[in-house]
Structure 1
Amino acid sequence: MALHADALALLADWAPTSPDAATARDRTLDLLAAGPAAMGREHRAGHVTASALVFDATGSRVLLCLHGKFHKWVQLGGHCEPGDRTLAAAALREATEESGIADLRLDPVPIDVDVHPVGCQGGSLHHDVRFAVFAPPGAVERVSAESDALGWFPPDQLPHPLAGGTARLVAPGLAAFRRACPRPAP
């Protein structure tokens, strides 16, 4: 119940970062009208997921995973779990599990929302709420069971094949990085 309430409040108050994100946010709010069931992967009509674009400590690289099931590079993230109380916490948990990096920091304001088809329950939709996450200096990634590989990439040189919607995370993610990690004046 807390996760569903958090998702409703977060998305109702969120200022979308693009027209596509606005449409996806509205579709996700419509899905959430189904109640807390919309948070779980068993909800065949679709379910809310949480993901994170991870930036290194300088903001000059992003961490992506080569997804083990669909063999495309994508941000870290996935399904909400029963213990998750907020979407931000779910995204941070997923980023930590999938990267193996401790002490990640998350900007609690989403950078994007995307709705895309997936194979869950024989065919469903992920309503993915996406956040920017910042790795500590010297962070070393560790491949999880869900990935074939992890890699750091300059934001303007993302790898191929890239999952749809991942590239559009860069601009709002960099804006979040600049807000969260301002550079000292010279």
Structure 2
Amino acid sequence: MSLHDDAALVLKEYEGQEDLRQAYLDHLAAHPDGMWKACHAGHLTASALVIDPARGRVLLTLHRKLGRWLQMGGHCEPADATLAAAALREATEESGIAGLALLPGGPVRLDRHPIPPPCHVHLDVQYAALAPRDAVQQISDESLDLRWFAYDEVAGVADESVVRLLEATRARL
């Protein structure tokens, strides 16, 4: 199964955000290259909020290009077998944490947002990743900073998309 086919299947099974979910499916149907950065009409991305429920905190990255505190995530790559694998790879690469595990149940949310050219639009499929008890983060080249935030601190540093992702993740837990 191709990554494009996997993404379509994941989205067909996703419950909630019906209009946005359908917009993602329509995009994939209209764009065979809709998984890749080269699709300038927009493309799917995969992200994961790294969460430590035992300590009531999430790990956010200060994105180098956007200058905002965000969950880990980014573009799909040809080696990604599934959308979930892309989200887990991105979370692991950007957090430096080995042993992350995606929260069961598939994506937590969808978020469509504008991005500076050449990308223009990201159709982000957002997962949540549980950090192991002994998690030690390590900053990547894609980040200006990497920091744990208590749940109640997130709204003060991140945008509404991250706040909604945290709320949905906590509800899933």
TM-score range, shorter chain: over 0.9
2:151 matches 1:155:
yes
Q: Could you say which residue in structure 2 is the equivalent of 1:83?
A: 79
By how many angstroms is 1:157 displaced?
1.4
Query: Percent same amino acid at aligned positions?
Result: 48
By how many angstroms is 1:138 displaced?
1.5
TM-score when scaled to structure 1? 0.87
Unaligned runs of 5+ in 2: none
Q: Could you say which residue in structure 1 is the equivalent of 2:15?
A: 15
What SS class does the counterpart of residue 133 from structure 1 fall into?
strand
For 2:115 and 2:39, locate their aligned partners in 1 and report how far apart those are by CA, in whole Å: 12
Of residues 159, 166, 170, the one that matches 2:162 is: 166
Contact persistence 1:73–1:159 (CA under 8 A): no
Q: Could you say which residue in structure 2 is the equivalent of 1:184?
A: none
For 2:147 and 2:116, locate their aligned partners in 1 and report how far apart those are by CA, in whole Å: 25
What SS class does the counterpart of residue 33 from structure 1 fall into?
helix
Alignment RMSD: 1.6
For 2:142 and 2:66, locate their aligned partners in 1 and report how far apart those are by CA, in whole Å: 11
For 2:35 and 2:129, locate their aligned partners in 1 and report how far apart those are by CA, in whole Å: 22
2:116 matches 1:114:
no
Contact persistence 2:155–2:163 (CA under 8 A): no
Q: Could you say which residue in structure 2 is the equivalent of 1:183?
A: none
2:98 matches 1:102:
yes
Of residues 20, 23, 26, the one that matches 2:22 is: 26
For 1:163 and 1:156, locate their aligned partners in 2 and report how far apart those are by CA, in whole Å: 13
By how many angstroms is 1:160 displaced?
4.5
TM-score when scaled to structure 2? 0.93
For 2:13 and 2:53, locate their aligned partners in 1 and report how far apart those are by CA, in whole Å: 29
For 2:90 and 2:28, locate their aligned partners in 1 and report how far apart those are by CA, in whole Å: 21
Contact persistence 1:3–1:87 (CA under 8 A): yes
Of residues 52, 56, 61, the one that matches 2:57 is: 61
